[in-house]
Amino acid sequence: MGLFDFDKVICPYCYNKFPKSQIMWRCNSGKCIRPAALEEDSVYAEYHNITNPAEKRKPHIIPDPKPKKGFVKCDKCGDDTNMQICPVCHSVLPKTDENIVISVIGVPGSGKSYYVGTLIRQLRQYMSAFGCSIKFTTDESRRMYEDRFETPFSKRIVLPKTKQPDENANIVGANLPILCDITDDRLKTRTFTFFDAAGENFENEAIMRYVAPYISHSAAIILLLDPTQIPAVANTLVSENPNGVSGRRSVNTVSYEQVLNNTVEVIHSHLKSKGQIDIPLAVGFSKWDLIENSPTLRPDGVITNPSPHFMRGFSEEDCDNVSSEVEGLLAHWECQNFVMLARQQFKTVKFFGFSAIGADIETGRSVPNIVSKRVEDPFLWLLHKKKIII
């Protein structure tokens, strides 16, 4: 799905779709970006959940724009501007060739934030192995990555819990997705939106109104399964280590089956569709270190090897082997129903296992140095499917 789909544009922030003629223009000239020239933008503020009055002030929006060769003359300062913004949420629209949303879903505590943070970290370190470069789409995205992930990782502190918006507030605005531009070896640039969708909110209709457009327009959905949420696994982990992570896990009010069902419902009601969903679904076990470190649960097989893709090029064979191994484990752990549900509802399903941190965070200790294992696999699988990497 292109950002410019015929004459329609999709905003990568609010995921509304509108005709090109409705694009709005904000002045980005030196005169209009001076603090004294800024104007309150209540639409932007509301959508981005901004309460600080100073941050609500943005440069002038041109009321009756007449674009010429990608520029519009500002009626306030007379300069030309090329900054296009979304008519719904007033976010700056990226100028890339394609816009790809990756939705990460799962119950609270399943590891979504660590996954997104360590995935971006790996991509920044190793995408050059595929002849690709990566950068944050906007300064705002770079700052969000630094505040939410880079700083806590380097200070070895626990990531803050994902912000819970007030009732009826805009959940997307409260926890804006991070946007990265990846330029491939043919110099095509695509904007990737990493959207962390807390599954516990899917029952709240007001919240779903904001989340549904994202999920429905995803290029892939990554559903995280927390091993400590699988009774057979949790019982073993507790018996091996009564004070370990499973013993102190929080009890979730939603199960991973419910998260999957809610997601299916959200997509069908938003797209007014039925039948199998054509968005690839990657089901990934998070916290895989817990399984590998368990004498009883540790499987044999390729999944215990490091990810080969950055080192030796994308390996479809490794991906297929990991997927069947994880699927086998799910059957062994009495999750056949979940597997069946996923396969019935989605045309393409792949199973993965990864560790974002590489080790358990022990209560009262600082976070271990991050040594991720296989976090990049689901994302690289998607890039391969979309023929962005070969």
Ligand X SMILES: Nc1nc2c(ncn2[C@@H]2O[C@H](COP(=O)(O)OP(=O)(O)O)[C@@H](O)[C@H]2O)c(=O)[nH]1
User: Among candidates 378, 12, 9, which has minimal Cα distance to 179?
Assistant: 12
E strand map for the chain: 4-5, 8-10, 17-19, 24-26, 39-40, 57-58, 72-73, 80-81, 83-85, 98-106, 133-136, 178-183, 189-198, 220-225, 281-285, 349-353
**210 near Zn ion, judged by CB under 5 A:** no
Three-state DSSP at 253 gives coil
**27 near Zn ion, judged by CB under 5 A:** yes
Size of the site for Zn ion (CB under 5 A): 12
**263 near ligand X, judged by CB under 6 A:** no
Report the residue from 28, 49, 162, 321 that binds Mg ion according to the rule CB under 5 A. Answer: 162
Shortest gap between Cβ of 228 and ligand X (angstroms)?
9
Report the residue from 1, 158, 311, 331 that binds ligand X according to the rule CB under 6 A. Answer: 158
Nearer to ligand X, 138 or 241 (CB): 241
**32 near Zn ion, judged by CB under 5 A:** yes
Shortest gap between Cβ of 252 and ligand X (angstroms)?
10
Q: What DSSP character marks residue 358?
A: S
Interface map 51-90 toward Zn ion (x if CB under 5 A): -----------------------x-xx--------x-xx-
The structure tokens listed for 265 are 């419902």
**109 near ligand X, judged by CB under 6 A:** yes
Binds 234, which of Mg ion, Zn ion, ligand X, none (CB < 5 to 8 A, cut-off by type)?
A: none
Shortest gap between Cβ of 110 and Mg ion (angstroms)?
9
Mutual orientation of helices 336-345 and 256-271 as an angle, nearest 10°? 10
Interface map 275-294 toward ligand X (x if CB under 6 A): -----------xx-xx----
**164 near Mg ion, judged by CB under 5 A:** no
- CA distance linking residue 25 with residue 178, whole number of Å: 22
Tell the residue number behind the tokens 């100073």, with chain if given.
54
* Element spanning 299, H or E: none
Q: What is the dihedral sign for C-alpha 352, 123, 191, 96?
A: negative
Shortest gap between Cβ of 245 and ligand X (angstroms)?
6
* Element spanning 185, H or E: none
Report the residue from 3, 10, 14, 267 that binds Zn ion according to the rule CB under 5 A. Answer: 14
The residues in 306-335 that bind ligand X, with binding defined as CB under 6 A, are: none
Strands 281-285 and 349-353: parallel
**348 near Mg ion, judged by CB under 5 A:** no
Query: What are the CA-CA distances from residue 183 to residues 106, 112, 135, 179, 241 (Å)?
Result: 29, 25, 9, 13, 46
Residues within the interface to Zn ion (CB under 5 A): 11, 13-14, 27, 29, 32, 74, 76-77, 86, 88-89
Binding site for Mg ion (CB under 5 A): 112-113, 162
Where on the chain is the footprint of ligand X (CB under 6 A)?
106, 108-114, 158-159, 162, 286-287, 289-290, 355-357, 360-361
